[in-house]
Amino acid sequence: MGIPRQSPNVNSPRSGVMVPLANSGVPPMEVLEKMARRRFQDPKPEIHGKYWTIVVRKDEFKNGKMVRRRERVRLALASEPERKVLKLKQEYMAPLNTGLSNIGSATNFQRFTEDTYRALEMPLLAKTTKQRYDGVIENYLIPVFGKLSLADLQVSRIQAFFTGLGSSTLSFESIDKIRDVLASILWTAREKYRLMSDDPMEHIQLPRPNRGKRNPKPHITPEQFDELVSSLPEPYATMVYVAIYSGLRVSELIGLKWHDVGFDTLTVDERYCRGDWSEPKSEASNTTIGVDRHVVERIHRLKLLTVEVNGGGPGGKAIRRYKVVKKDGPDDLVFQSVKDGKPMRDNNVLTRFIKPAARELGMGFVNWRCLRTSRATWMIEAGANPKDVQGQMRHSRIQTTLDIYAQFVPDSQRRAIEQTSKMVAERIANAQRARAAAAAGLVN
């Protein structure tokens, strides 16, 4: 066999052939370079009404294309001397003419957010994430930054916005989410569409939360877990059983399919949340975890079960029977809705079955997150290594696992506290005896 010939670069100047590239929304490099070459400007100040003004050309990203527009800029009041105005002009034009103001930085923030970020980027997000981002953009970012250009989003302006949020009624978590969404928009403008030259979010500090570390994450004890599972009907009892013995997130639990169930393992490779299928939350989440054999046996037990549901009818006494597992092919769901076998909705299961059962047992607050935290809690109480807990919970960062550890005072720490108190008490007692002896000697 001969050596395969390398395909020529059809878009190189030597090839003489220019093939249109896929439309990514970013102008071709030759367009950007052409705009950059004709960017140097030296406008003459003139009095326009009550102000000294200059007319400058600014490049703007609009409807997926780079366009150049003219803008009249006020420099000073008409009463100011021309010498001072010329100095102000030089200061204003310096970033534009030295490349510090990136091509496209005059793009309006709202236009970029609506036409590019929302239209091209947000459809790639999970459905629930997209809904949260929509709310933040509509309620907080557009009202404040909508009329500004990307170049106007300087550190001082953004920091003033977040500092002001510190005196609002928003929680620290809400402010942090607003910061995440704005950072995502500006990162996209800078890194993907090359409309900004720096990252103003890098230097932004959030107001300090007005409370200390939150209360320990709720969890249930093994004894409470046994009561809860015993009080739930199938398949919800097995859902809770698997959730707490595996540490799966509810979206991963609902998205579990029969080909994901091994002899003593569960594989997480997709998730389902309220109509939206997506990949796992992170690379660490996309993996296979070990589980006790009894967990797998309980899952397979679902195939043998039939449940009875009140079907209404005269007097409300009609009973309908459904197989818990309608189909058990490799790509069929493990947990299927009782009536038609479709994917379950986590909030329906929680509000109709789990929460009422927990309240009746006097457990207070129980949700899906509580079940996952309980798994980590039990491993901690059993003396597991933090890295092992991290692996089971599939946390991307060890700090997330340690945050769960932080809500407990381990036995070793309690022993250290007791030993320290004992040492201090002994030394104080010795000192007191010594002083008493010295005082007795002086008296004698």
Task: For residue range 366-424, list pLDDT tens digits in order.
Answer: 999 888 888 888 888 777 888 888 888 888 777 777 776 656 655 655 567 677 778 88
| Domain endpoint, select from 151, 169, 203 | 203
Cα separation, 380 vs 359, in Å, equals 26
Cα separation, 260 vs 242, in Å, equals 13
**What string of DSSP letters covers 125-184?**
S-HHHHHHHHHHIIIIIHHHHTTSBGGG--HHHHHHHHHHHTTSS--HHHHHHHHHHHHH
Based on the domain organization, do 125 and 188 belong to the same domain? yes
Say if residue 298's pLDDT is above 90.
yes
Q: For the domain that residue 231 is a member of, what is the CATH number?
A: 1.10.443.10
Cα separation, 96 vs 398, in Å, equals 45
Based on the domain organization, do 394 and 339 belong to the same domain? yes
Cα separation, 15 vs 8, in Å, equals 7
Q: Give how many domains the chain has, as a whole number.
A: 3
Specify the 3-state DSSP secondary structure of 76: strand
Q: What percent of the chain lies above the pLDDT cut of 90?
A: 27
- β-pairing verdict for 276-278 and 271-273: antiparallel
Q: Give a yes or no: residue 264 inside a domain.
A: yes
Q: Give a yes or no: residue 431 inside a domain.
A: no
Residue owning tokens 């003489």: 16
Average pLDDT over residues 90-112: 71
Based on the domain organization, do 340 and 270 belong to the same domain? yes
Task: For residue range 122-150, list pLDDT tens digits in order.
Answer: 988 877 788 889 999 999 999 999 988 88
Q: And the tokens for 428?
A: 């104080």
| Domain endpoint, select from 174, 203, 232 | 203
Based on the domain organization, do 142 and 250 belong to the same domain? no
Name which residue leads in pLDDT, 101 or 196: 196
Based on the domain organization, do 253 and 397 belong to the same domain? yes
Type of residue numbered 194: R
Q: What is the pLDDT of residue 352?
A: 93
Based on the domain organization, do 311 and 336 belong to the same domain? yes
Based on the domain organization, do 394 and 295 belong to the same domain? yes
Q: Give a yes or no: residue 341 inside a domain.
A: yes
Q: What is the pLDDT of residue 103?
A: 55
Q: Give a yes or no: residue 443 inside a domain.
A: no
Residue owning tokens 């409370």: 211
Query: Mean pLDDT over all residues of the chain?
Result: 80
Task: For residue range 220-242, list pLDDT tens digits in order.
Answer: 888 998 999 999 999 999 999 99
Q: For the domain that residue 182 is a member of, what is the CATH number?
A: 1.10.150.130
Cα separation, 59 vs 116, in Å, equals 16
> Hey, which bits of 241-365 come out as E strands?
265-267, 271-273, 276-278, 288-290, 306-312, 318-323
Based on the domain organization, do 42 and 129 belong to the same domain? no
Q: What is the pLDDT of residue 281?
A: 72
Please say whether the beta carbons of 234 and 302 come within 8 A.
yes
Please say whether the beta carbons of 46 and 20 come within 8 A.
no
In angstroms, the Cα distances linking 44 to 47, 95, 122, 283 are 10, 17, 43, 56
Q: What is the residue range of 67's domain?
A: 29-98
Locate all alpha helices (DSSP H) within 19-99, ordered by sequence: 29-37, 82-98
Based on the domain organization, do 315 and 351 belong to the same domain? yes
Q: Give a yes or no: residue 20 inside a domain.
A: no
Instruction: Write phi, then psi, for 73 (nearest 5 degrees).
Output: -115, 130
Per-residue confidence at 15, pLDDT binned at 50, 70, 90? very low
| Domain endpoint, select from 58, 73, 98 | 98
Q: Sheet containing 65-77: give its strands across.
A: 46-48, 51-62, 65-77
Name, of 15-19, 35-39, 261-265, 312-316, the range with top average pLDDT: 261-265
Which secondary structure element, helix H or strand E, spans residue 349, and what is its range? helix 346-349
Q: What is the pLDDT of residue 428?
A: 81
Name which residue leads in pLDDT, 238 or 215: 238
Average pLDDT over residues 296-304: 94
Q: What is the pLDDT of residue 109?
A: 92
Based on the domain organization, do 86 and 131 belong to the same domain? no
Q: Give a yes or no: residue 292 inside a domain.
A: yes
Q: Which candidate, 201, 123, 140, places its Cα nearest to that of 175?
A: 140
Q: Give a yes or no: residue 435 inside a domain.
A: no
Based on the domain organization, do 235 and 299 belong to the same domain? yes
Our measurement of the distance from residue 118's CA atom to the centroid of its chain's CA atoms, rounded to an integer in Å, reads 17
Q: Give a yes or no: residue 358 inside a domain.
A: yes
Average pLDDT over residues 169-182: 90
Based on the domain organization, do 276 and 327 belong to the same domain? yes
Say if residue 34's pLDDT is above 60.
no
Say if residue 21's pLDDT is above 60.
no
